[in-house]
């Protein structure tokens, strides 16, 4: 006796041939349940790579422009040994409201392409949330740098000035790191798309 004898009695050594349709219906039901459960995940697996690539490709220009600008700004005003900026630049920021306003305008112009964007995962249903979060962190870090430079224009005292400058530098560090990660993912996405379509 075999387990399959309950499904069909039509075996070579069987004396009669009876098909158990209820057993076949149960097997079909189990197969349909597995297809219903696993079908979407299999489909997502094949679609997800392409959706992630398109998601990063759509944001690639703004990410690259913002990253390049912030890197340039960081090279022009690199962190000092004991401070967030070179001492002469800090003195200029501390003493001149015009210098603070110019710095605010530079930062605002540099992060504007990305800081004005938002990550709407409902428009990209197939993307990994990890990728959406990665871009969201980069966008929010850019916004934090912009807000920090805006708040630096009117500071109250020396302690407040130092706190705001440190906040800008911390935001700049996070923005540069997260933008570099997103830029790397954009490059990978571009390669994937060109391999598939060119």
Distance between CA atoms of 77 and 107, rounded to whole angstroms?
A: 12
Q: Report the candidate in 164, 166, 140 with the shortest Cα–Cα distance to residue 154.
A: 164
Q: Residue 75 has what pLDDT? A: 86
Cα–Cα distances in angstroms (integers) from residue 101 to residues 29, 42, 69, 140, 175, in the given order: 69, 53, 18, 21, 21
Q: Terminal CA-to-CA distance of the chain, rounded, Å?
A: 58
Predicted confidence pLDDT, tens digits, the chain (198 residues): 455 555 555 655 445 666 677 878 888 999 999 999 988 887 777 788 888 888 888 888 999 999 999 999 888 888 766 667 788 888 888 888 898 899 899 999 999 988 888 888 888 887 888 889 999 999 999 999 999 889 888 887 878 888 888 888 888 889 999 999 999 988 888 887 788 776
Q: Are 67 and 176 in contact (CB under 8 A)?
A: yes
Give pLDDT, residue 8.
58
Unique residue bearing structure tokens 């079908």 = 39
Predicted model pTM: 0.72
Which structural domains are found in the chain, ordered by start? Answer: 48-197 (1.20.1420)
**How many residues in the chain?**
198
Q: Max CA-CA distance within the chain? A: 104
φ, ψ (nearest 5 deg) of residue 50: -70, -40
d(CA 111, CA 128): 25
- Please tell me the predicted confidence (pLDDT) of residue 10: 62
> What was the pLDDT predicted at 141?
92
């Amino acid at each position: 006796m075999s387990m399959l004898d309950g499904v069909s009695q039509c075996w070579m050594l069987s004396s009669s041939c009876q098909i158990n349709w209820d057993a076949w219906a149960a097997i079909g039901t189990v197969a349909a349940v597995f297809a219903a459960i696993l079908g979407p995940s299999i489909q997502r697996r094949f679609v997800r790579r392409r959706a992630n690539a398109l998601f990063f490709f759509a944001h690639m220009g703004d990410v690259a422009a913002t990253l390049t600008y912030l890197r340039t700004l960081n090279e022009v005003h690199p962190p000092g040994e004991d401070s967030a900026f070179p001492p002469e630049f800090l003195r200029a920021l501390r003493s001149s409201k015009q210098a603070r306003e110019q710095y605010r305008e530079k930062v605002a112009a540099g992060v504007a392409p990305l800081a004005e964007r938002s990550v709407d995962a409902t428009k990209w249903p197939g993307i990994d949330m990890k990728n959406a979060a990665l871009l969201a962190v980069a966008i929010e870090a850019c916004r934090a740098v912009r807000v920090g430079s805006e708040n630096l224009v009117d500071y109250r005292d020396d302690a407040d000035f130092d706190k705001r400058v440190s906040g800008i530098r911390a935001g700049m560090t996070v923005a540069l790191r997260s933008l570099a990660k997103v830029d790397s993912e954009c490059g990978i996405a571009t390669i994937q798309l060109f391999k598939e379509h060119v």
